[in-house]
Copies of this chain bind each other. A is one copy, B any other.
């Protein structure tokens, strides 16, 4: 991406703007500072809760548990089945497919940068990753495992006895549901993707984006996408009503029972959106171009021109960051 951007000739406008700024500050600028100021680069780590410190021992244990299929009823489904590191830590199918091949109601969100979200799941039914972690294990369509049974299974392995004791050194009986959730949440807080071309651009590398990507950033801001897709993860973590093609999902209404929440979903992150297709709560939208057009139509009441769609799509491609380092654990 960087190489490509460097190879592009500067547009006339950018070249003029660049020389004007260089005369006074010797820092190259493309004249889009007012736009850049409305965005935030992604930090390397999200907020860490005071009651679940991010220790190397907990990260290691959480890494093991994330890939552990023996905490599913079938013994073959782990968190990594639907949050597959080979597939942008999601599954790239329309809707999650789990226990006995059952197909869930919604598209599997990526776990990348999920620690930056202020609520979890499409409907925000859990406030944090600790709450989120236990959902799919128990869900009859996903891992279909009773949590007490999961704890019993883990207790059968000496290695887990050792690793839980290392992660929770002050506890006499550390293999608990709570500690399972805390370890999984801790591991997931390390799965972030900093240093995307857009992050490098926001930090001053004017060549990190192509001109089309910059045009897309401008269109993204000027058209109001940024109203909801803002902050480091490009989501306001708020809930907005939308019925995408083919969906009858009532969204957050299922959580609150409040008519005002009918069809509302939490704004998804746009980080790595190019590698976390398909899109929307029902996963029925295959391409970014279609997704941009649908969002313009449904949320902004605009029919985007093809050029605008192409520019915003190019911008969204600049949000793909460096995939996190992790190891496939050697499970017991």
Interface residues of A (CB under 8 A from B): 67-70, 74-76, 81-82, 84-87, 91-93, 97, 99-101, 323, 328-331
Contact = CB atoms under 8 A, between A and B. Distances in A.
Closest 4 CB pairs of A and B: A100-B101, A75-B93, A86-B331, A67-B86
Contact of A69 (B67, B76, B84): B84
A171 B92 CA distance: 30
Instruction: Count identical subunits in the complex.
Output: 2
Contacts of A67: 86
Given A328-B85, A331-B87, A76 B97 contact: yes
A99 B99 CA distance: 10
A55 to B, nearest CB: 22
B74 A91 contact: no
Contacts of A70: 92
A158 B328 CA distance: 27
A101 B93 CA distance: 18
A93 B68 CA distance: 12
Nearest to A144: B101
Nearest to A94: B75
Contacts of A76: 81-82, 91, 93, 97
A124 to B, nearest CB: 25
B97 A74 contact: yes
A68 B86 CA distance: 8
A87 B78 CA distance: 12
Contact of A328 (B68, B328, B329): B328
Given A86-B330, A323-B330, A330-B323, A75 B91 contact: yes
Given A86-B329, A323-B330, 9 more contacts: A70-B92, A75-B91, A75-B92, A75-B93, A75-B97, A76-B81, A76-B82, A81-B81, A86-B331
Nearest to A323: B330
Nearest to A108: B76
Contacts of A329: 86
A256 B155 CA distance: 45
Contacts of A69: 84, 87, 91
Contacts of A97: 74-76
A328 B86 contact: yes
